[in-house]
Amino acid sequence: MPPSAPHRANVSRVLEQVSVTRYVTPLREGGSLPALVEADNLGTYVLKFRGAGQGPKALVAEIIGGELARRLGLRTPELVLACLDPRIAAAEPDPEIQDLLRASEGLNVGVDFLPGSAGFDPAGWAVDPEFASRVLWFDALIQNVDRTWRNPNLLVWHGDVWLIDHGSALYFQHNWPAARPLAPFDTKDHVLRGAATDVAGAHQALAPRITPALLDEVLALVPAGWFGDGRPADYAAHLLERAPRVLEVIR
């Protein structure tokens, strides 16, 4: 499924940086408490906070997952680096939100808000087998365990399916000594498993595109201070070893 021309045009070597001008409302999903915000470029974003419980590494996974998906031709909302002024917290009555805003001063990740989008319902939406196979292959590559029947992390917008929420991917980064590039990937609960009938074809199409140059481009989008005890080269080496052998790790 090749990306459309506008989709390709959104690929950038630098993430746009914006300033948050207004905190609109919390989106109480899981423990990260993302929020809908407005920015000085007149955009509306779902803000993923650096000060949330998962810390900066969840944002590392968000950027790598989202921007790698985009470069592989999978639709995912535009990402920005969103600067948060802690003074915005003073206008929020909820102490939990105040604490989160203050802990997230500076750069965070903004995900372009898709107005009018609907959550993907696997029971009511027919999925193209090529698309499903490529998404499953991609999730196996980045070890994304959070695209299940219970939580698809897919949105339907203008008739297309968009991938969102990659913060739980790359879980190996939380314990580098135990990281295994060939760790198995269990697809039992993957929301698109039933429709993914040509994973071998997806592998043939996508694996050769995971190159050092591509990974260097994606990793350069992540603020250097967010990597913690990992290095960009560690992520690249892990994914470069895994990509040609994704078919072997899928269970």
- Gap between the Cα atoms of 138 and 68, Å rounded: 9
- Gap between the Cα atoms of 220 and 137, Å rounded: 23
Pairing of strands 160-163, 35-39: unpaired
Neighbours of 52 (CB within 10 A): 20
221: nearest Cα among 13, 78, 7, 50: 13
Looking at residue 124, its pLDDT comes to 84
- Gap between the Cα atoms of 58 and 174, Å rounded: 10
Rounded to the nearest 5°, which phi and psi values hold at 228?
Answer: 65, -125
Per-residue confidence of the chain (251 residues) as pLDDT tens digits? 333 333 434 566 789 999 999 999 999 665 568 999 999 999 999 999 999 988 999 999 999 999 999 999 999 999 999 999 988 988 888 898 999 999 999 999 999 999 999 999 988 888 999 999 999 999 999 999 999 999 999 999 999 999 999 999 999 999 999 999 999 999 999 999 999 999 999 999 999 999 999 999 999 999 999 999 999 999 999 999 999 999 999 99
- Measure CA 80 to chain center: 12
63: nearest Cα among 24, 27, 108, 95: 108
Placement of tokens 């040509």 in the chain: 198
- Gap between the Cα atoms of 251 and 243, Å rounded: 15
Question: Around 92, how many Cα atoms within 13 Å sit in the side-chain half-sphere?
Answer: 20
- Gap between the Cα atoms of 191 and 80, Å rounded: 27
- Gap between the Cα atoms of 7 and 166, Å rounded: 19
Pair 26, 47: CB distance under 8 Å: no
